[in-house]
Amino acid sequence: MKIIGLEGMKLVKEGDDLATLIVSAAKRQGVKIEDGDVIVVSHKVVSKSEGALARLKEVKPSQFALKLARLVDKDPRIIEVILRDSKRIVRMIKGHLICETIHGFVCANAGVDRSNVGEDTVVSLPKDPDRSARAIREKIRRLVGADVAVVVSDTFGRPWRTGQVNVAVGIAGLKPVLDYRGKKDIFNASLKVTVICVADELASAAELVMGKTNAIPVAIIKGYAYPRGEGSLKELVKPNKYNLFP
């Protein structure tokens, strides 16, 4: 398996055609986009291209946001944006706000982030990351004739583990999980619960070349025989009835 970070992509702004930027960057770097490649795209450039940004000077916090900001010691304007992007607050302590997003993800600040977006601005997760991934995939197919998979990624923290990892928040062209249930292990015992999240593992692998300070928002993974299919982030969100920590 080979992972190639696309360097030299311009700073993305609202309205930019990400698929065209990806294809152009790959050509400049001498990378051929081929059938079976996985294109991992940082959610941040997807959100920027779709205008999922908030200028803090234009945000008027509600009374609830002001109250919450005092409790957790955060900018009330950022709290207001977080609330807009949340279904519910899961946990709240000073400096930390863990929320369930409108997509069903449970993460810090509902995915709202200040890094790599410019001063006095925050970025939200794309409203429909699967649709974003599908649009990039279809445009790449039209531009270069290659049948690829697309994973939109973001960085999540993990309870009881130090350090963040990249995970998939949007998918197109691959089945996000690999189900080993019913298969035999090396001692011929039947596996009963093992379901591997391929989409998250691909997103994490890509982050090793993308980084957070390298200005590499896209990586191309070659040589991995992923399970083909339409795929959806809905397959990655566990129903509440199965959550041990709802």
How confident is the model at residue 150, as a pLDDT? 98
Residue ending a domain, choose from 64, 88, 122: 122
- Report which of 173, 222, 214 is spatially closest to residue 31, judged by C-alpha positions: 222
Most confident stretch, 34-38, 90-94, 214-218, 224-228: 34-38
Q: Are residues 115 and 216 in the same domain?
A: no
Question: Is 157 in the same domain as 204?
Answer: yes
- Of 122, 143, 159, which one is at a domain's C-terminal end? 122
Q: Are residues 229 and 116 in the same domain?
A: no
Which ranges of 63-128 does DSSP label H, i.e. alpha helix?
63-72, 76-84
| pLDDT on residue 139 | 98
Q: Which of 122, 145, 173 is at the close of a domain? A: 122
- 108 C-beta neighbours (distance < 10 Å), count: 17
Evaluate whether residue 207 is within a structural domain: yes
46 and 69 inside one domain = no
Q: Quick one: 68 and 176 in the same domain?
A: no
CATH, residue 170: 3.30.1330.100
Judge if 68 and 182 occupy the same domain.
no
Given a contact cutoff of 8 angstroms between Cβ atoms, the answer to whether 140 and 22 are in contact is yes
> Domain check: are 149 and 204 in the same one?
yes
- The enclosing H or E element of 135 equals helix 129-144
41 falls within a domain:
yes
pLDDT of res. 245: 78
Please indicate, yes or no, if residue 197 is contained in any of the structural domains.
Answer: yes
Asked whether the predicted pLDDT for residue 27 surpasses 90, the reply is yes
Asked, for residue 242, whether it belongs to a domain, the answer is no
Residue 210 · residue 217 · CB < 8 Å: yes
pTM score of the predicted model: 0.94
Whether 123 contacts 113, CB under 8 Å: yes
User: How many domains does the chain divide into?
Assistant: 2
Q: Are residues 11 and 82 in the same domain?
A: no
Same domain assignment for residues 152 and 72: no
Q: Are residues 111 and 6 part of one domain?
A: no
| Triad 223, 228, 233: Cα angle to 5° | 110
Q: Are residues 103 and 162 in the same domain?
A: no
Of 101, 62, 102, 100, whose CA–CA distance to 78 is shortest? 62
Which pLDDT band, with edges at 50, 70 and 90, does 132 fall under?
A: very high
Domain carrying residue 206: 2-51+125-237
Amino acid letter for position 33: I
Q: In this predicted model, what pLDDT tens digit does every residue of 68-115 receive, in sequence order?
A: 999 999 999 999 999 999 999 999 988 889 999 999 999 999 999 988
Vertex 144 angle, CA 149 and 4, to 5°: 55
Does 147 map to a domain? yes
- Is the separation of the CB atoms in 169 and 129 below 8 Å? yes
Q: Cβ neighbours of residue 97 under 8 Å, at least 6 residues apart? A: 68, 72, 74, 79, 82, 89, 91, 108, 109, 110
pLDDT of residue 165: 95
Interval 170-205: pLDDT, tens: 999 999 999 999 999 999 999 998 999 999 999 999
Name, in order, each residue with C-beta under 8 angstroms of 238's C-beta and a sequence gap of 6 or more: none
216 in the same domain as 189: yes
For the domain that residue 118 is a member of, what is the CATH number?
Answer: 3.90.1660.10
Inter-axis angle of helices 129-144 and 43-50, nearest 10: 90
